[in-house]
């Protein structure tokens, strides 16, 4: 049955990519938000390279975090409305595995493009070139955590009126450690070349914990919401 489960997960993953590819505006929202925020900052703060450089890690990370939060709503919402989520719950495969595939697709569509786009925006924020590698690395490690953690409140608030606001309220406290370590890692490598490795390892450890825990928690949350 192993091959069956894997093939089911791949099917969920690819279908998700296909659906969002055809409904690309939703994916673009997060990315466009990220670009707009990081573009407006230098305009508002002024072109002082030093000031911008100090703020760059924080601004880039906050923008990435909020962009991900924005995109959480359509992780499950449309599947919930058309009934395909209900079908997923009666599938003969472990729900958490299928949910994991969904979250993975969510990351590929939001977190990954954010990370890949960040070097361009980093230049705009006058981040030193030596820190750009760390920025991309920290986003590559951090954004999957954001997608994984965010799936839990997204599942829990399905069908709740005003669920969007609730998701942000629930998710932001959980996001703060990721934000702190992520931004610190970038700041460290932008500054005196302190070891950003420590922060990145912590992010990695966090990711390992969340990978094992979040798919299970969000599938339990889905069962509660759809009961």
Interface ranges with another protein (CB under 8 A): 1, 4, 7-8, 10-12, 15, 18-19, 22-23, 79, 81-84, 86-94, 98, 226-227
**Shortest distance, CB of residue 6 to another protein, whole angstroms?**
10
Nearer to another protein, 18 or 209 (CB): 18
Nearer to another protein, 79 or 184 (CB): 79
Cα(95)–Cα(133) distance, rounded to whole angstroms?
Answer: 36
Cα(163)–Cα(178) distance, rounded to whole angstroms?
Answer: 23
Q: Which two tokens stand for residue 93?
A: 């495969």
Nearer to another protein, 3 or 47 (CB): 3
Residue 223 CB contacts under 8 Å (≥ 6 apart), including other chains: 89, 95
Cα(18)–Cα(14) distance, rounded to whole angstroms?
Answer: 6
**Shortest distance, CB of residue 105 to another protein, whole angstroms?**
13
Nearer to another protein, 7 or 39 (CB): 7
Nearer to another protein, 39 or 91 (CB): 91
**Shortest distance, CB of residue 100 to another protein, whole angstroms?**
14
Cα(168)–Cα(70) distance, rounded to whole angstroms?
Answer: 8
Widest Cα–Cα separation across the chain: 60
Q: How far is CA 136 from the centre of its chain?
A: 14
**Shortest distance, CB of residue 22 to another protein, whole angstroms?**
4
Residue 31 CB contacts under 8 Å (≥ 6 apart), including other chains: 67, 110, 113, 114, 117
Tell me 33's DSSP state. H
**Shortest distance, CB of residue 79 to another protein, whole angstroms?**
8
């Amino acid at each position: 049955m192993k091959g069956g489960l894997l093939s089911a997960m791949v099917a969920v993953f690819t279908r998700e990519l296909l659906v969002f590819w055809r409904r690309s505006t939703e994916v673009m929202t997060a990315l466009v938000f990220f670009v707009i925020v990081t573009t407006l900052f230098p305009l508002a703060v002024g072109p002082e390279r030093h000031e911008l450089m100090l703020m760059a890690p924080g601004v880039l990370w906050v923008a990435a975090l909020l962009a991900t939060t924005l995109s959480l709503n359509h992780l499950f919402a449309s599947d919930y409305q058309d009934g395909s989520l209900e079908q997923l719950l009666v599938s003969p495969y472990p729900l958490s595995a299928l949910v994991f595939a969904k979250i993975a697709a969510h990351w590929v569509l939001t977190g990954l493009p954010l990370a890949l786009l960040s070097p361009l925006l980093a230049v705009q924020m006058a981040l030193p070139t030596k820190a750009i590698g760390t920025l991309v690395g920290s986003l590559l490690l951090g954004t999957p955590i954001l997608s994984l953690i965010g799936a839990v409140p997204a599942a829990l608030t399905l069908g709740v009126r005003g669920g969007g606001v609730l998701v942000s309220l629930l998710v932001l406290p959980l996001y703060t450690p990721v934000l702190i370590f992520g931004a610190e890692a970038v700041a460290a490598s932008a500054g005196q070349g302190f070891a950003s490795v420590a922060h990145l390892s912590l992010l990695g450890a966090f990711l390992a914990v969340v990978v094992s825990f979040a798919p299970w928690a969000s599938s339990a949350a889905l069962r509660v919401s759809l009961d």
